[in-house]
Amino acid sequence: MTTKSIQPAFILTVKVVVAPDNAAKFLSYAKPVYERVLAEPECAYFLFGQKHDEPGVFQWTEGWTKDLAWFMKEQITKDYYKPYLEATEPLFI
């Protein structure tokens, strides 16, 4: 999945590994958050993918028009992350 094209001030790269049996479950939780993040005006882009040769490995890169301090104070604290993290963190291996 890909998005807008604005020059970012901060880039976040994430790799998550879940059991292949939990890949679909992880995606069911990740997709709504992806859509919410992508709708944020400060989100320059959001690239998300699953490794074809490793079905439980997901990687994404987010580009933000604001800096890390803003991201930690204003973005990552948004309410929609909490249920996602509560549901997905137990799936991480």
- Can you give the length of the chain in residues? 93
Rounded Cα–Cα distance for residues 88 and 80 (Å): 13
pLDDT digits (tens, 9 = 90+) for 19-71: 999 999 999 999 999 999 999 999 999 999 999 999 999 999 999 999 999 99
Identify whether the C-beta of residue 15 lies closer than 8 Å to the C-beta of residue 26. no
Q: What share of the chain is helix, strand, coil (3-state, %, to 5)?
A: 40, 30, 30
The label of the residue with tokens 């490794």 reads 51
Give pLDDT, residue 1: 54
The fold for domain 10-91 equals Alpha-Beta Plaits (3.30.70)
What are the tokens at 31? 């997709």
